[in-house]
């Protein structure tokens, strides 16, 4: 067992111990007269505890403080390191999201470049600003416009160079033919996959319009004032619609307005309607309410009575100016009998047409405005054809040949001749054509037979007019010759 000299300090708690007294006696009995102290087991245990405490303190200091628990177990510090790392993560503030410079501000960047458009509503031909960030610094960025989803390439409308922060700012002009559907603006970094998109609405702006009269009929003249359009712009004028052929075109002054322009009221359905002005370039739209009054046209025809195939003359007024008028006979179903065009005053002057064959008696004429749908009725009477026929002879012997003299048929029509009637029945004896006056001389041919001794009758029927001419011969007169 090791021995220590008198310089080792023994704890005061051990000085009264009997063991210590025994040690003192041994020291006195040493042969060389020197006092020696022997180390007991309690002293060794106390020294080990002191060394353990000192070692733990050294480890704490090495880790940077007393934030963790003392390791008095003598084991490795791996578990304590993990626990210490977890505590540091809980105390450490959350990581801030990456930002990019957008204009004079920094905004969070989710993923890749971003752009914004100001204003988001851009009229065709108008200008707006595009701002963006997240691009490479000092890079060329092309600005493209995609009018529809199927447009893969887009239309180039400009380019801009990014600054040292990778931000862009540029103004662009919306094409005048961009239409009114939403489009997509694309910022594409040249020779790179970095791209950003933003929706842009291209609807037309809204102007103002006023009418001096709020009530009228098609063809009336009103005064219109408008503003909010482009200077020197052409304006299409519509009534009750926004498409099709405009009724007229106006032109704005240097301020983009129209002052006291005289225009004619166009065609629109009866009742509440709207005057619509649309700028050709800006697509600016202005509207004004208008009450469309009903139209009451009038019509007359002459002559009042006539035969089929003859000409009748029609006149009308108070239709919409320049509109097409559809003329029907008896029924408005199917195709019209004919059409006529109203003049600038809404009038139809002396339109003539031939009465169709097949009509008999009282007939109704109906004229309908193709756009205004205004309706007017008139009528006429179709007289029947009453032709006449005379044989070339009123009697004769068997073998005598007869011909006919006819009049009163429809001009140029074909006539069928029949002989016999009653129980004997009819038989066709010939066909001939009348002239443009409905007449014919010495036409047809019939040879008298012995069976015609008691006489024979004839019917001559027009194929178009349906007119029937009758004639007969008396054979008894022939026997008396």
Q: Which two three-digit tokens encode residue 295? A: 């139209």
The domain tally of the chain equals 6
Q: How far apart are CA 468 and CA 459, in angstroms?
A: 7
Question: Would residue 45 count as lying in a domain?
Answer: no
Q: How far apart are CA 348 and CA 301, in angstroms?
A: 12
399 and 474 inside one domain: yes
Q: Which domain holds residue 366?
A: 298-382
What pLDDT is stored for residue 16 in this prediction? 46
Q: How far apart are CA 102 and CA 120, in angstroms?
A: 16
Q: How far apart are CA 178 and CA 157, in angstroms?
A: 12
Answer with the one of 382, 402, 434 that is the final residue of a domain: 382
On the question of pLDDT at 39 being above 70, the answer is: no
According to DSSP, the residues that pair with 198 across neighbouring strands are 185
What pLDDT is stored for residue 97 in this prediction? 52
Q: How far apart are CA 197 and CA 142, in angstroms?
A: 12
Answer with the one of 331, 364, 382 that is the final residue of a domain: 382
Q: Which two three-digit tokens encode residue 332? A: 């408005």
The answer to whether 233 touches 258, Cβ cutoff 8 Å, is: no
Residue that the structure tokens 């458009």 belong to: 117
Question: Would residue 173 count as lying in a domain?
Answer: yes
Question: Would residue 47 count as lying in a domain?
Answer: no
Q: Which two three-digit tokens encode residue 105? A: 């501000």
Q: How far apart are CA 154 and CA 186, in angstroms?
A: 8
On the question of pLDDT at 478 being above 50, the answer is: no
On the question of pLDDT at 9 being above 50, the answer is: no
The answer to whether 14 touches 23, Cβ cutoff 8 Å, is: no
Of 386 and 127, more confident: 386
Question: Would residue 33 count as lying in a domain?
Answer: yes
Of 336 and 244, more confident: 336
What pLDDT is stored for residue 75 in this prediction? 44
Q: How far apart are CA 271 and CA 360, in angstroms?
A: 40
DSSP of 8-35, one letter per residue?
A: SPPPGGGTTSHHHHHHHHHHHT-TT---
Domain CATH code at residue 360: 2.60.40.1930
Among 60-74, 87-101, 247-261, which stretch is predicted with the lowest mean pLDDT?
Answer: 60-74
pTM: 0.48
Give the confidence band of 24 by pLDDT, cuts at 50, 70, 90.
Answer: very low
What pLDDT is stored for residue 414 in this prediction? 95
119 and 192 inside one domain: yes
Percentage, residues of the chain above pLDDT 70: 72
Question: Would residue 30 count as lying in a domain?
Answer: yes
246 and 190 inside one domain: no
Question: Would residue 423 count as lying in a domain?
Answer: yes
437 and 358 inside one domain: no
Of 464 and 219, more confident: 464
Give the confidence band of 436 by pLDDT, cuts at 50, 70, 90.
Answer: very high
Give the confidence band of 371 by pLDDT, cuts at 50, 70, 90.
Answer: confident
Domain CATH code at residue 466: 2.60.40.230
Q: How far apart are CA 169 and CA 164, in angstroms?
A: 13
Give the confidence band of 474 by pLDDT, cuts at 50, 70, 90.
Answer: confident
How large is the greatest C-alpha to C-alpha distance in the chain, in angstroms? Answer: 214
């Amino acid at each position: 067992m090791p021995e220590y000299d008198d310089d080792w300090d023994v704890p005061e708690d051990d000085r009264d111990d009997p063991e210590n007294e025994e040690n003192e006696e041994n020291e006195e009995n040493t042969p060389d007269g020197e006092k020696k102290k022997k180390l007991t087991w309690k002293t060794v245990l106390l020294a080990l505890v002191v060394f353990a405490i000192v070692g733990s303190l050294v480890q704490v200091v090495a880790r940077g403080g007393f934030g963790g628990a003392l390791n008095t177990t003598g084991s490795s510090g791996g578990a304590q390191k993990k626990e210490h790392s977890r505590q540091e993560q809980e105390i450490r503030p959350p990581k801030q999201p990456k930002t990019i410079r957008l204009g004079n501000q920094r905004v969070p960047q989710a993923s890749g470049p971003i752009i914004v458009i100001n204003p988001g509503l851009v009229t065709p031909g108008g200008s707006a600003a595009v701002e963006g960030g997240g691009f490479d610094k000092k890079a060329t960025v092309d600005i493209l416009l995609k009018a529809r989803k199927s447009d893969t390439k887009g239309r180039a409308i400009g380019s801009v160079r990014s600054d040292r922060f990778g931000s862009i700012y540029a103004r662009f002009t919306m094409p005048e033919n961009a239409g009114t559907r939403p489009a997509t603006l694309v910022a594409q970094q040249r020779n790179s996959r970095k791209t950003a998109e933003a929706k842009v609405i291209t609807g037309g702006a809204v102007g103002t319009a006023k009418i001096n009269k709020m009530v009228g009929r098609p063809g009336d003249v009103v005064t219109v004032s408008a503003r909010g359009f482009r200077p020197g712009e052409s304006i299409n004028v519509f009534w009750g619609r926004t498409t099709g052929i405009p009724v007229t075109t106006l032109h704005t002054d240097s301020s983009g307005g129209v002052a006291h322009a005289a225009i004619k009221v166009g065609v629109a359905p009866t009742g509440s309607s709207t005057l619509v002005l649309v700028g050709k370039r800006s697509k600016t739209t202005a509207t004004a309410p208008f009450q469309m009054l009903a139209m009451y046209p009038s019509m007359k025809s002459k002559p009042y009575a006539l035969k089929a195939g003859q000409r009748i003359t029609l006149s009308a007024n108070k239709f919409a100016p320049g509109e097409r008028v559809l003329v029907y006979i008896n029924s408005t179903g199917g195709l019209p009998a004919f059409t006529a065009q109203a003049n600038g005053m809404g009038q139809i002057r002396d339109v003539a047409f031939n009465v169709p064959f097949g009509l008999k008696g009282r007939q109704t004429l109906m004229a309908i405005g193709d756009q205004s749908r205004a309706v007017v009725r008139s009528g006429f009477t179709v007289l029947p054809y009453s032709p006449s026929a005379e044989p070339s002879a009123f009697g004769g012997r068997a073998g005598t040949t007869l011909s006919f003299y006819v009049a009163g048929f429809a001009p140029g029509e074909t006539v069928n001749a029949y002989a016999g009637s009653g129980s004997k029945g009819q038989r066709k004896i010939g066909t001939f054509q009348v002239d443009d006056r409905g007449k014919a001389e010495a036409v047809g041919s019939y040879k008298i037979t012995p069976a015609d001794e008691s006489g024979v009758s004839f019917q001559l029927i027009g194929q178009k007019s349906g007119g029937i001419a009758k004639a007969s011969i008396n054979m008894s007169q022939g026997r008396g010759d």
